[in-house]
Structure 1
Amino acid sequence: MRRPKIRRKKYFIISVLFVSLLAGVLVFKDRKTSHCVQCRSMQNALQWRLGFWHTASIPLSPRNTEVRRSHLYDDFFQSDHQHEWQFSQGSPYYTMGLSVWGGCAIGSGRHSHPFCQTYELDPSFREFIRSELASGRLDLKTIHQICRLTEWRDEKQPLSPKEAQLRELADELVYDRDW
């Protein structure tokens, strides 16, 4: 009589271990990061999924989206600004989303002009740009146009005179001034 109970207990334990192992392999946290092409704010979207990344998977949780406003947004864009999100990077995290990074997908949204990168990272550059704006040497429209420039561009495509002028000004602000 005792043997069937022990056998059932073994099957149960083996089944639980198998399902746990399978869940550790097939359940992952999917992260997709996007940047606004205008104000460079960042959006992270996280979702638990079951399956394989970039093939078949089903959602296990609702998508949780958080937006981190940029300094550019805080300083130069109105509160009614409509973000234009462009995919930057995506990654799965396996072993129940806790430990194993599972790869990377890269998008063009990660490319911004060094003007934007410097503005986000350097408080003295932010102060310099604010002083240029206050003095009238720089205007809000020009800042918005510079923010739309990307770091990389197709060299086969000729620059329009307006884009060449904007790139020259942005480069001058970042590289040629002692701020």
Structure 2
Amino acid sequence: MQHPLILDDFLLANKATIHYPTRTLYLHDGTIQVALISTKQVNTARNFKTVSVPGLNMCEIPVIIPKHYLNKPVILELHDYLEKYQLMVASCLVQATRSKNARVRMQNINPNNYTITLPVNTVVAMVSYVDVSTLQILSEENSNLKKKKSKIDFDLSSADLTEDEKKN
């Protein structure tokens, strides 16, 4: 039995291909690449000191993550609890390397006209361990952008250009 899915509509509309060996999603016939990553076990991160974010500004929030993530790559993402403060948080891949405790920094933006203060120990992010074997570095070498370039023919015979300009 088949059922239509919104995701299926998205994938079809964007000419998507998933290459499972490299865990890469290609969109628009390969012109856009998205690395697919695996995360395990979600926890929370809290700010370890009171932070005031001025209106219409960006700043870093110093956060502490559970110690079992020390020296491991994790993704920090906006926690639903923080939405009530109307802050925008950049998802980031970080690795806490301090031996004393697992502290990292997370960027956020206050789009409001007023200062927002986050009391110490506020839940600010979800923390997920990332399996580094599922990460793919996107570079020019493994990009399909070069392969997808094609020459578009235009009739420039009546254009006000020199012969060299018409050829290029």
TM-score, normalised to structure 1, is 0.23
**TM-score scaled by structure 2?**
0.24
More relative contact order, 1 or 2 (CA 8 Å, 6+ apart): 2
Point out the structure with the larger helix share: 1
